[in-house]
Structure formats: structure tokens, C-alpha cells
Structure 1
Amino acid sequence: MVEEREKSGRAVKSLKIGGKEGKMMLEAVLFDMDGVLIDSEPWHLEANRELCAELGFKLRMEEYANFIGKSSSEKWTYFKTKYDLGPTVPELVERENRKNIQMIPDNGEGLIKGVLPLLQTLQERGVGCGVASSSPLAYIEAVLEKYKLYPFFQAVVSGENMAKGKPAPDIFLHTAKLLGAHPEHCVVIEDSEHGVQAAKAGRMKCIGFKNKNSGEQDLSPADLIVDSLEAISFHSLESLLYC
């Protein structure tokens, strides 16, 4: 049973997972958030452009793209060093976080097509679901509240408190642990190169989602690549475990 609460994330409800011994059961599906649950990369880019302008430099797209899927701390550590910025890294992360939260649409726009039917199917089937995002926890929670997605997730984890961020597998392994799921019985859905690498490093099956707003991402290590979440069925998720 999952009832753990901690800084790196939280289990939202209790869940018991298990299947018949000897059969490969789908125990959990782990979702990245930005670019997978919500099409947030455009407003993230705008928030970063605004903040960089306030700090006195112009954001270069090729540099920004390198940090898609990674934590804000890693990104601002890089920019602070390169541009000799005055604020501390935590202060920079907080300023970006405030801008991102302010930019969440009030009308519910931005939810990735196919997300709700997929989450509803997994809920009906009793499959554990977790959010494993590199974003700060306050922002993750704001998004899940705004889009009313909390009821679908039993674990919510932020990479900001992980010892190693994506492409290290720590965040996915921790989320699986919160759900009581074995890594080999988990499927990760990711839109970034670093996220796919993290899932595979954690011995999990991975679906790469080609989101045009996530930039040029090498998703080739994924076990399955899709252009739409509508292409993902319960059967296709289960089938990945036997690949």
C-alpha cells in the first residue's frame, strides 16, 4: 500500500498493485508532464525569454533546447555561470517558476489530445499512474490542480529533489517505488531525449511521444514512438512488456 509523503513528491492515494505470479503484468505507467500531459513548452519558452531579458541577455534557442527534459536548477546553474548572474540558482528557479504558474491557461487549453481517455482507461483497469517531472513540485501541483488531473495519479514526483536528474533514472525508479511497482513492469511516456534515456536506464519500457513543440528530440531508444497519445491503448502498453 502506498501512503508515503515526502519533499521529492507525494503519493496521492493508497494503491495495491499485483498480479498473478509468473505473468508480466502492467503495474504502472509513469508520465512526464510538460509536453506529455500538457503542451506547455511554448509558454515555458516565453517565460524563459522574459526572465533572460530581465537578467540582461538574450535566450538562444539552441542552448534552451539542451535543457528540455532537465531540471530548472541545471539550466540556471549553466546560465548563471555563463553570464555571471547575480541571483542565486534557487532564486532564478523560483522566478521562472512564478512566471510558469502565471502562464497556465485559465480556460483549460493546452491539455494534450488523448490524455484523458488514456488516464481513464488506466484508472478503470487498476493500473497505477505517476507523474515524474523535472519541474518544481509547486508548478507540477498547480498544473494538476488547474487541469483537474490529480484523481488519476497515485504518485507525484519532482526531479528538483532527486540526487541526479534525467537522463539518470532516479526519478522514474523513485516514482515506481512509491507506486509499489517493479521497474520491469512499468511503461514511461516521454517527449524528451533525456527522459527516454532515463526510462531505459531504469530498465523500463518507454513510449516516445513526438511533440512538435518539444524541439528536435532523439527518441530513437524508445520501445515505441507515437505522433499522438490517441495511438496508445491498454493493449499496446501491455504488449511492450513482452518486447
Structure 2
Amino acid sequence: MIKTVIFDMDGVIVDTEPVHRYAYYKQFSELNIAVGEEMYTSFTGFSTRNTFQALKGFFPTIEHEVEDLIQRKRTIFNDAFDTKEDLYLLEGVEDLIKDLYTNGIQLILASSASKVTIERVFTRFNLHQYFTDIVSGEDFPQSKPNPAIFVYAASLSKAPKENCIIIEDSTNGVKAAKAAGIYCVGYNSHHSKLQDLSDANLIINNFKELDAQKISQLGA
């Protein structure tokens, strides 16, 4: 029986991707680099640090230190986040979170996003009350598909990892869940383009397909 649900954030709980995209592409313009759609999509699930480490490998003309690049992107993102009025929770996810919480299922967040971004989202939408733990990808040297973030998140569960599931929307996230040996629900989000969820144990198109009773029986 499932006792713990580990949520990704971007593309699962909230769609901050347009804000991230705006911030990244404004910075790409400042750096005078051309990042195509295929390359940008390949970074889905990466932390900001790993994204810039990869970009420095692709574009030797980037002379800035990774930490400086991170801070600049964060500044652009935060300015946009604070002025963006159409930022909202994805359809059905708040009802699912409340249903799981009410039925005693532990909720943990494991997101590649920075702690600052997670805090902004959780404060804006009053989500702290539902989650026992928050894990940020910035604390891990490698991003998804490396499973480290999920292995650690599962260690915070009140139950063995066999009684955990992960909800993910990205190719890299599903691969990370698989590598961690944890049951994965792939959320086919229309906000997350060109993602391969085929390795997920279950694929859903809408959170209305899930509730606490259905989730508790997954993996049985």
C-alpha cells in the first residue's frame, strides 16, 4: 500500500516553465548564444547549475562563472515571477494534494528547482501545510536522470521506498524514478513538451484520474 507520494514541482504542481523560459532566453541573448528548441528541451529536469555547466560545454564563449550565471538567471526569474499574474496551480493538483493529505498519505516535494523558487511557489499557493519535507535539486551535484534526489526523498518517507510513488512529467524525471527503483506515475502535461514518459509505470493525462484510494493501491 502506498504511504508516501513524492511530487515533482515544475510541470506537475505549477507551471513556472514560461517564467523560466523567459529568464533563460533573456540571458541567452545577453550571452549572445543561440540555444535551439531541442537543446533547451534536453535540459528539462536539470537544476540551473547543471544547465549552465552543460551550456558552458556547448558554448566556450561563455566566460562567466557558473555561480554568476545562476545569480543573473535567478534575478531575471524573480523579477518576472513577482510581476506575472497568470501563474497558477495545474488543473486538479490542489484537489489531489488535499485529498492525499486528508487521507493520511505523506507528501514530499523533490524538485530540481532552487530553494528560493520552491519557497516562492509554496508561499504564494499556501502549500507548506501539506508537505512534510521539501528537497531541492540544488543540494545535489547531478540533476535528474541521476536518481540521487529521489533516493534521498524516499529516505525521508515514513515507509519503505516500496510504499512510495513519484509523480513526474519529464523524461529525465521518469528515468530518475526508474533508476531509484520507485513506482512512477508519468503526468502527460501539455506544459511539458517533447517528453518521453514511456518508462513510467502509469501515465495519466489529468489529475482527476487519481485520488487517495486509487493511489494507495498502486504497485500492489
Would the TM-score normalized by the shorter structure come out above 0.5? yes
Q: Which residue of 2 aligns with 1:57?
A: 33
Q: For 2:156, what is the secondary structure of its paired residue?
A: helix
Offset, 1:122 = 1.0
Deviates more, 1:82-91 or 1:195-204: 82-91
Q: Which residue of 2 aligns with 1:145?
A: 123
Q: What is the number of residues matched between the two proteins? A: 218
Deviates more, 1:163-172 or 1:44-53: 163-172
Offset, 1:191 = 0.4
Q: For 1:103, what is the secondary structure of its paired residue?
A: helix
Q: Which residue of 2 aligns with 1:100?
A: 77
Q: Which residue of 1 aligns with 2:68?
A: 91
- What 5-or-longer segments of structure 1 have no aligned partner? 1-24
Matches within 5 A, 1:45-194: 45-83=21-59, 84-104=61-81, 107=85, 109-194=87-172
Q: Does 1:230 align with 2:181?
A: no
Decide whether the 8 Å contact of 2:45 with 2:143 is kept in 1: no
Decide whether the 8 Å contact of 2:50 with 2:142 is kept in 1: no
Offset, 1:108 = 6.5
Summarize deviations over 1:38-83 as a string: whole Å, max 9, x none. Answer: 0121221111111100111233111100010112112101212322
What is the aligned-residue RMSD (CA, Å)?
1.6
Decide whether the 8 Å contact of 2:16 with 2:87 is kept in 1: no
Which residue identity is paired with 1:159?
A: G
CA distance in 1 between counterparts of 2:70 and 2:120 reads 16
Offset, 1:166 = 0.9
TM-score where L is the length of structure 2? 0.93
Offset, 1:86 = 2.0
CA distance in 1 between counterparts of 2:122 and 2:19 reads 16
**Structure 1 pair 145–168 and aligned structure 2 pair: CA distance change class (3 A):** same
TM-score where L is the length of structure 1? 0.84
CA distance in 1 between counterparts of 2:85 and 2:126 reads 12
Offset, 1:102 = 2.6
Q: Does 1:211 align with 2:189?
A: yes
Offset, 1:106 = 5.6
Which residue identity is paired with 2:169?
A: D
Offset, 1:239 = 2.3
Decide whether the 8 Å contact of 1:106 with 1:146 is kept in 2: no
Offset, 1:110 = 2.3
- What 5-or-longer segments of structure 2 have no aligned partner? none
